[in-house]
């Protein structure tokens, strides 16, 4: 779980060390400029802990150890994950592409 201290730091040090590529978005990804902090896909994360010591602002916590003051981040990250999946499936446009919403997958 990536908490508030990542906001506007986004140096992607954690992305570089993650062995399963589950921290999003990537620096060269379409969504990178749109988010103020990165987030972890909990379905892919293997809890190896490699990202924790490389974070310069101590923003990464196991979900059960997330300080209460940042609990809202958990819900925000889940919304981002759903949106990222929808963009990947073509249900929503990437905001940076400036295109109109695709109807692909909506008419079925």
Binding residue (CB under 6 A) for ligand SF4 from 46, 71, 85, 88: 46
The answer to the question of residue 35 lying near ligand SF4 (CB under 6 A) is: no
User: What is the number of residues in the chain?
Assistant: 108
Q: Report the alpha-carbon distance of residue 14 to residue 52 in Å, rounded.
A: 7
The answer to the question of residue 57 lying near ligand SF4 (CB under 6 A) is: yes
SS3 90: coil
- Per the listing, tokens 């969504």 go with 31
List of residues contacting ligand SF4 (CB under 6 A): 2, 6, 9-14, 17-18, 20, 22-23, 38, 40, 45-51, 54-57, 59-60
């Amino acid at each position: 779980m990536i908490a508030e201290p990542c906001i506007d730091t986004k140096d992607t040090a954690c992305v570089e060390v993650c062995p399963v590529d589950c921290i999003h978005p990537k620096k060269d990804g379409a969504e990178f400029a749109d988010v103020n902090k990165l987030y972890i896909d909990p379905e892919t994360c293997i809890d190896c802990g490699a990202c924790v010591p490389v974070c310069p602002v101590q923003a990464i916590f196991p979900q059960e150890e997330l300080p209460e003051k940042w609990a809202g981040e958990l819900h925000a990250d889940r919304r981002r994950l759903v949106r990222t999946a929808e963009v990947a499936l073509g249900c929503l446009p990437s905001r940076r592409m400036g295109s109109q919403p695709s109807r692909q997958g909506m008419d079925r």
